[in-house]
Chains A and B, each alone.
Chain A
Amino acid sequence: MTHSLRLNSNRRTRLSGFLILTLLVSNLWAQDGDPVKGKSLFNTNCAACHQLDKKMTGPALRNVETRLSETEGLDRTWLYAWIRNSNAVIKSGDSYANKIYAEYNNSAMTAFPQLSDVELNDILAYTAQPKAEPVAVAAAAGAQGGVPNAGQDNNLILLAGLALLFALLAIGLLMVRQTLHRFAVANEVEIPAEKPKSTPLWVAFAQNQFLVLVTAIFLLLASGYFVYGYLMQIGIDQGYEPVQPIHYSHKIHAGDNKIDCNYCHSSARVSKHSGIPSLNICMNCHKSIYEYNGPTTAEYTKEFYDNEIKKLYKAVGWDDTNQAYTGKTQPVKWVRIHNLPDFAYFNHSQHVTVAGIECQTCHGPVQEMEIMSQFAPLTMGWCINCHRETNVKVADNAYYDKIHDELSKKYGVKELTAAQMGGLECGKCHY
């Protein structure tokens, strides 16, 4: 921007004229396609390997048609052929086809024979779209961020107004008193002298032994209550929200993008550990998601998130520019949030797969947590309570058929709680 400002007006006109010309020309070429339909087709078929502005598994596709016709002299027919069956084009001995095949590690592009000319035109129209100005993105972000801020400001103004009002009232009262006093003096009204000094309250209190005793007992009890409360919370890390080496937002992944918890924490289904996903799981998506394009706030900006993705790339040893693994890895040392003592055995699969409990029951609204924190106290009392209240999920589980029939008959209930099934026995969790 600053650079362009320094340009003289004459050159600026020429530049903008050139830009408009380019846009016009590209629009001319792509005018027979619908960029909106194209976008959806692109996302379905192409986005796994291509981005508009970035080299991925395949080349960047912004203005691919223009580029090809300008540099290689290839037209849209060539593109049709390539997209529908790149292998055939390569085999035909086409020089550019072979060049690009070699450039991308001899990995053949998936053939899309099902795409019609119209659809391909739509996709090409989409690729011919000009790049959105970053200013616009920032503005949009600002606009979105503005809403909660405005609410906060309103409150502040309201409070300030109230404070001002009270201040004015107070000043008014003082002034009224002063004026009345003046009137009194002027009218020679006798103002009664102040009352003779009686024993101060605290002395009276100190002299009353009963009151002192009662207060002392009360204070002791109260402090005892608080000390007990303090001691009982030692080792309970409810709300523990440590800073992680990579700012991983569950809100974005599980909330905004609705990724199933078990996609990453897959071992929760079969194992005692829910497991922290290995970095190769992250790369399933982040190989193509190299930047953040969701809503941002002043604290969590796009740069911030992009930087966190870069941290992932560094840890897993992914060279984003060359789209290749370097082999230099740095395992991430996550800070463990949910810590059970060694003498307590907890098995995720028992709760997730067998009981079908939602992750959120114990872990809270993870999909809303920008920073993951410990939701439940994870105390034994908390476990036991749930075991007392929760019915065992017996439907479609042959294991429970016999035992549930017999036990429910014995206890005279329709549904058994985990506790009635033996879920309160010491040795079920402590061995």
Chain B
Amino acid sequence: MSTSKTYWKNIADLASNPELDPKRHNEFVEHIPVDEFLGDKGTLENSQTSRRDFLKYVGFSTAAATVAACEGPVIKSIPYVVQPESIIPGIANYYATSIANGYDFASVLVKTREGRPILINNNSLDKTGVGANARVNASVLDLYDSQRLKAPQISGAPTSWATFNSEVGQKLSDLSAQLKPIVLLTQTFASPSTAALVNEFVAKFPTTKHVTYDAISQSAALDAFEQRYGKRAMADYDFSKALLIVSIGADFLGDWQGGGFDGGYSKSRIPQNGMMSRHVQFESNMSLSGANADQRVPLKPAHQKQVLAALYAKLKGTSVQTDLPEGVLAIVNQTAKSLQKSGSNAVVVTGLDDADAQALVLEMNTLLESKSFNPNTPLLVRSGNDASINNLVDQMNSGAVGAVIMAGVNPSYTLPNAAAFNDALAKVELTVDFSLKLDETASKVTYLAAAPHYLESWGDVERKAGHYGLMQPTIRPLFDTMQFQDALLSWMGSSVAYYDYLKTYWAANVLNGSEWNQALHDGYFSTETNTVAKEQSVDLSDSLTTLAAAKDEGMVLTLYPKIGMGDGQQANNPWLQEFPDPLTRVTWDNYLTMAISDAKELGLFMESGGTDATGGLNGRYAEISVNGKSVIAPVIIQPGQAKGTVGLALGYGRTAGVKEELQTGVNAYPLYDGFSATQTVSIKAAEGKHEFACVQLHNTLMGRGDIIKETTLEVFNTKSATEWNAMTMVSLDHVETPVDSPDVDLWDEFDRSIGHHFNLSVDLNACTGCGACVIACHAENNVPVVGKEEIRRSRDMHWLRIDRYYSSEDSFVGDDERKDNISGLSDSLSVFGKMEQPSENPQVAFQPIMCQHCNHAPCETVCPVAATSHSKQGQNHMAYNRCVGTRYCANNCPYKVRRFNWFLYNNNDQFDYHMNDDLGRMVINPDVTVRSRGVMEKCSMCIQMTQKTILDAKRDGRVVKTDEFQTACSSACNNGALVFGDINEKTNQIVSKKNDERAYYLLDHIGTKPNVMYQVKVRNTKEV
């Protein structure tokens, strides 16, 4: 039925308006500038194409494109013209080499596929060397960094090496003739051949001075050692021989004095014959070492010095006056007694940037005759001298220096007085820098030399006296690069290549008649040295009084390197940026760590623990000032942080030579005044709220002691395992029944006694939480990097995570007791609420968690398309091509180990990390599928590795060798915490782990029957 009703939109519409009436029938009232928008107005107006035609064309072309798309793509294969003998497509080659980047020194085995290095392994041949840490594992990705320099540059313009070297060589000769000083400012190479080469260079250009510079200085330790033993080095420590470890501010499980001590430490931590080491830690920041300690005393740095003085005095039988609090004094007295009792089984270390403290420690270990202390083969991995750096900047500033040639250093970023250095650098006539990237320093020199990555270089390294490593190229240089040593030779007018120089040097000075090829194959060479370090007597009475009188005024900042970032040279490495800090579990950031009480006092505490409605962790900003220099950093509450102290990580805040997404955190080097890690600071709140990307927001176990089972050494030694590792009981018809009884099982047991059955054991005593396994897993399994925002949304992709828990009472045992004593609902609500908060000085526990490969897996039963299923070999399979992305499995997984691909992380500009450029993709493991968007993924127990091991055995027609099966994480673990193997082969190490009294399964009351087991954590709480 028609109607005469008219509808109007506004008053003007109702009252007929002559101006509006003609426009009313137009689709758009105002003229829309489509023509201008589309560009060529004339052509458009003259065009006969109507909108209908346009749509027809669009429709037709879409249809045509669809039809054309039915044709499969033509894939080309291009074989070699002449295939290198050593390369068989599909077969990995391994090369032993060494990393020596001035911060990390390790002997490694590099896996290459079709000529591309794709994975760093530990060099298991080199028993005396140190294993690869997280940074070394990630270093393979630095090789494929799209930000790398591709050719040498003169004043910013690309040039050839011939021009570069002839110009620099000429200038050096001129400067030398004018008797102007030439300075080589380099990293610590610890390379005997480079040292010899530099000496030759000095002979050729006599005005040359070689200054070595460590971004994070160990000058105090070096000075003390030099004074006592006459050699600029650091004492070596073997913690596997220690039964009592007393550390005063030394994070020896981190990067203390070059790092690499964790392997020995872990050996002493596994209880054997009723013995394990006891570890006492005095420190201000919560460090990895402190987290692993049996007794941890949070103290301000001055108090640490006093503790050291007091301990020394007790050992000497004298006494000093300190102002230590009563409680601490009692611990110190007790520790001193333990030290005396333990004698040579004890060892004392300190990380204080104070030559007096370092000297005292050397003396104490000598007094104890500590078996762990070794000054005879000292460590050579740091050699920088603070005084000479300061001196150099002054000299450069005065215009006296003719040339500065830098290699492996980035002083414009790492120097506390970087601005002064930059000004001084401008006054130097010839500036040369060997750099991988256009970093802060590289952009300020005239002659910029593109340096090769260590995987493209020749070299040698003497990590500790008499213990050598060789560095060999594992790939042809990707770019037009030249290494520092070759350039030195070229400038000296020599036509010898550094490779030949190195070989000659080794033949003459190192090998002592041994085969070069063998040494190169092994990657290392050791000589037995029986030299005993000559001691000079040092008067320590002044040191003692200085230390005992140490005072701290106000807030004290302790600068530290993070496990994932070190000194910051790998800032453009997305794996390391996304690596969660072992303690705070924060990624993509550095921050000011602060005790909760201090934060409340300073107005830096956020209510509800800083988490907002989306589950993301937030923090307030604080302005930290030292001597007029200040930086603004976000604050994170760190349980265990000593009151009156704060911590801030070095190595962040890089801006040059780093992709925008990876320019994270704040630069703390300006606060590194006088190369001292401890600084008196003033802190005030600053504007704004910082968003962290933290992967673990639950800090405590809330009394759930069955997740991380732990006991004390005393109980472990005296009581039966049923007491400290009791079988979980579940109720069957109201009768308590052991959970491993077949009666309580929902499923029928499947016979896995034939063939291989893989198990993984995680020893909570040996695991220090270092995270090398996390990065190794990343590299082996093509795990994508998702970026800060996605991490904040809890979409991290790590297949292997290391959960960190704090106790909310003084110890986890206290937590359990408190939970057990809850009575009634109201009590439970308030108590559990409180138990979410960690204690001010908590116990810490680490727990690596990967897919548990349950024999009765909850994820498998809920998958609607059977994309995840179980194998006879104990691995839980995940067929990506079958997965439709319902995510039921992730929801049903009690261990929360499944990861969903929310986006296509490879080849996606929104995730511009290594998988988005051709260079970065070269690191991808060709044996593992690169997952697409919308599929679930998880730890596969490195099925590509187990399958390869099986195939190798089949092809050779032999049985699989004992302990031949490995996963990426188990082979990356230097500490023996992760043991993998086939439990059906009785000789394998994993069998003894499975039968160990300490073995237990995570959440076993659910009845999942996992193939991953944990070993009960034993703490040595009793005084010696």
Contacts and interface: CB of A to CB of B under 8 A. Distances in A.
A175 B947 CA distance: 81
Given A425-B872, A430-B877, A350 B77 contact: no
Interface string B945-958: 00100110111111
B533 interface: no
Contacts of A237: 72
9 contacts: A242-B74, A272-B927, A331-B79, A335-B75, A335-B76, A343-B880, A401-B959, A427-B877, A431-B878
A427 B928 CA distance: 11
A275 B959 CA distance: 28
Contacts of A195: none
B951 A349 contact: yes
A362 interface: no
Interface in A169-184: none
Interface string A323-358: 000000101111110010111110101100110000
Residue in A333, A422, A430 whose Cβ sees the most chain B Cβ within 10 Å: A430
Nearest to B870: A425
Interface stretch (B88-96, B299-307, B512-520): B88-96
Contacts of A120: none
Contacts of A341: 881
A341 B960 CA distance: 30
B79 A425 contact: no
Interface of B: 70, 72, 74-83, 88-91, 751, 753-755, 867, 869, 871-873, 875, 877-882, 927-930, 940, 943-944, 947, 950-951, 953-960
B929 A430 contact: yes
Contact of A431 (B882, B929, B955, B960): B929
B79 A402 contact: no
A50 B76 CA distance: 37
A267 B928 contact: no
Nearest to A240: B72
A333 B88 contact: no
Nearest to B80: A278
A402 B880 CA distance: 33
Contacts of A333: 76-78
Contacts of A426: 867, 869, 877, 879, 882
Interface in A54-87: none
Contact of B958 (A277, A334, A399, A431): A399
Contacts of B75: 335-336, 339
Contacts of A353: 955
A254 interface: no
A270 interface: yes
B954 A350 contact: yes
B871 A422 contact: yes
A398 interface: yes
B77 A431 contact: no
Nearest to B756: A403
Contact of B79 (A234, A278, A354, A428): A278
Contacts of A400: 954
Given A399-B954, A406-B754, A422 B872 contact: yes
Q: Is the interface of B mostly helix, strand, loop or mixed?
A: loop
A267 B81 contact: no
A398 B871 contact: no
A346 to B, nearest CB: 11
Nearest to B957: A397
A427 B878 contact: yes
A89 interface: no
A315 interface: yes
Contacts of B954: 350, 354, 397, 399-400
A402 to B, nearest CB: 7
B755 A271 contact: no
A398 B959 contact: yes
Contacts of B950: 399
B91 A270 contact: yes
Contacts of B80: 278-280, 331
A396 B951 contact: no
Interface string A417-431: 000001001111011
A315 B78 CA distance: 12
A334 B77 contact: yes
Contacts of A272: 90, 927
Given A278-B79, A333-B76, A353-B955, 12 more contacts: A267-B88, A270-B88, A334-B76, A341-B881, A345-B947, A399-B954, A400-B954, A422-B755, A422-B872, A422-B873, A426-B882, A427-B869
B90 A398 contact: no
Given A399-B959, A431-B944, A271 B91 contact: yes
B872 A270 contact: no
A345 B72 contact: no
A430 B930 CA distance: 11
A399 B618 CA distance: 56
Nearest to B960: A399
A431 B780 CA distance: 12
Contacts of A270: 88, 91, 955
A273 interface: yes
A377 to B, nearest CB: 14
Contacts of B81: 278-280, 315-317, 329, 331
B839 to A, nearest CB: 43
B844 to A, nearest CB: 35
Contacts of A342: 929-930
A276 B80 CA distance: 9
A348 B540 CA distance: 70
Contacts of A234: 70
Contact of B77 (A336, A396, A425): A336
B951 A271 contact: no
A218 to B, nearest CB: 28
| In the A-B complex, the 10 residue pairs with the closest CB atoms | A427-B877, A271-B90, A278-B83, A278-B80, A273-B90, A276-B79, A426-B879, A272-B90, A336-B75, A430-B879
A335 B940 CA distance: 34
A276 B754 contact: no
A273 B954 CA distance: 17
A93 interface: no
Contacts of B872: 422, 425
A406 B928 CA distance: 31
Interface string A239-260: 0001000000000000000000
A410 B78 CA distance: 48
A376 interface: no
Contacts of A339: 72, 75
Nearest to B781: A431
A333 B753 CA distance: 49
Contact of B869 (A336, A397, A407, A425): A425
A312 B367 CA distance: 78
B879 A427 contact: yes
Contacts of A401: 959
A111 to B, nearest CB: 29
Nearest to B872: A422
Contacts of A345: 927, 944, 947
Given A276-B77, A280-B82, A267 B91 contact: yes
Contact of B72 (A235, A316, A402, A403): A235
B90 A267 contact: yes
Contacts of B880: 343, 430
Contacts of A396: 957
Contacts of A335: 74-77
A339 B75 CA distance: 8
A7 B927 CA distance: 72
A375 to B, nearest CB: 17
Nearest to A392: B954
A281 B85 CA distance: 12
Contacts of B76: 333-336
Contacts of B91: 267, 270-271
Residue in A280, A331, A407, A425 whose Cβ sees the most chain B Cβ within 10 Å: A425
